[in-house]
Structure 1
Amino acid sequence: MTELHQAAAAGDFEEVEEILRENKCDPNQRDVDWSNKTALHWAAAKGHTETVRILIEHGARPCLRTEHGWTPAHFAAECGRLAVLRLLHSLHAPVDKEDCCGDKPVRIAEIYGHQECVRFLKKAESECQAYRKMAAQKGISLDDTDEEWAEHGKENEENRISKNNS
């Protein structure tokens, strides 16, 4: 776990800001010991809204996924962090991506009984999809795909198919 991951998890906004300002750490560095979580995943899970904001302002990508396909929105949904979900949505972060089991953040919020998050995410999902459609029509590029995770998922699918055909 990097210094940035630790500061983000602890909600030490000033430390996060200093690390990012001094370029001490890549805001998108994945922690392989913690399922490829980024500092943004930690801040979202812990409900540190201002830390989430500063990380994104310094280039943290809210579309990055853990090894199980969780985005920061999944972690915020699991922990009932409505303010973080609202912030992510306002910044056009993907709040409607499926993890490796097919669960979106709204389903995770349902599982953990966070009804306010469920209500918000149901509305946010449709807004997210409408925004994606509009962006595609207008040629606006969106940063809503984790290429590394998508490639990893493709490899896993190919391995599963070849194993089943053996």
Structure 2
Amino acid sequence: MTELHQAAAAGEYDQVKEILKQQKCSPNQRDIDWSYKTPLHWAAAKGHTETVRILIEHGARPCLRTEHGWTPAHFAAESGQLAVLRLLHSIHAPIDKEDFCGDKPARIAEIYGHKHCALFLKKAEAECQAYRKTAANEGITLDDTDEEWAEQGKENEENRVLQKTTLK
């Protein structure tokens, strides 16, 4: 876990700002010891809205996923962080992506009993999908895909198919 990961998790806004200003650490660095979480995942999970904002302003990608496919929106939904979810939605972050189990952030919010987050996310999902269509029609590029995670998903699927074939 880097100094930036720790500061983001603790909500140490000034420290996060200084680390980013000095470019000591990439805001998109994944921590392999913590399921490939980025500083943004930590800040979102802990509800540190202003820390989320500054990370994004410095290039943090809200589409990056953990090894289980969770985006920062999944973590915010799990811990009932409505302000973070609203912020992510306002910047057109992908809040409607499924994890490895097929669960979207709205489902995660439901599982953990965060009704206010689940209601918001259900409405926001439709808006997110509509914006994605509009952006495609107007040629607006969206940063809503984690290429590394998608590639890993392909490898995992190929391994599952290979295992099934071998077992037969």
Identify whether the pair has TM-score above 0.5, normalized to the shorter chain: yes
Q: Does 1:77 align with 2:77?
A: yes
Indicate the residue corresponding to 1:51 in structure 2.
51
Q: Aligned-pair distance for 1:74?
A: 0.1
User: In structure 1, the residue corresponding to 2:69 is in which secondary structure?
Assistant: coil
In the aligned structure 1, how far is the partner of 2:104 from the partner of 2:119? 14
TM-score (norm. length: structure 2) = 0.98
Indicate the residue corresponding to 2:119 in structure 1.
119
Indicate the residue corresponding to 1:106 in structure 2.
106
**CA-atom RMSD, angstroms?**
0.3
Q: What is the percent sequence identity of the aligned residues?
A: 80
In the aligned structure 2, how far is the partner of 1:127 from the partner of 1:21? 33
**Which blocks of at least 5 consecutive residues in structure 2 are unaligned?**
none
Q: Aligned-pair distance for 1:26?
A: 0.5
User: In structure 1, the residue corresponding to 2:29 is in which secondary structure?
Assistant: coil
Q: Aligned-pair distance for 1:165?
A: 1.0
In the aligned structure 2, how far is the partner of 1:9 from the partner of 1:30? 14
Indicate the residue corresponding to 1:37 in structure 2.
37
In the aligned structure 2, how far is the partner of 1:88 from the partner of 1:4? 20
User: In structure 2, the residue corresponding to 1:159 is in which secondary structure?
Assistant: helix
Indicate the residue corresponding to 1:156 in structure 2.
156
TM-score (norm. length: structure 1) = 1.00
Deviations 1:118-154 (A, max 9, x none): 1100000000000000000001000000000000000
User: In structure 2, the residue corresponding to 1:83 is in which secondary structure?
Assistant: helix
In the aligned structure 2, how far is the partner of 1:162 from the partner of 1:135? 38
Q: Which amino acid aligns with 2:22?
A: E
Matches within 5 A, 1:11-30: 11-30=11-30
In the aligned structure 1, how far is the partner of 2:123 from the partner of 2:13? 30
In the aligned structure 2, how far is the partner of 1:158 from the partner of 1:135? 32
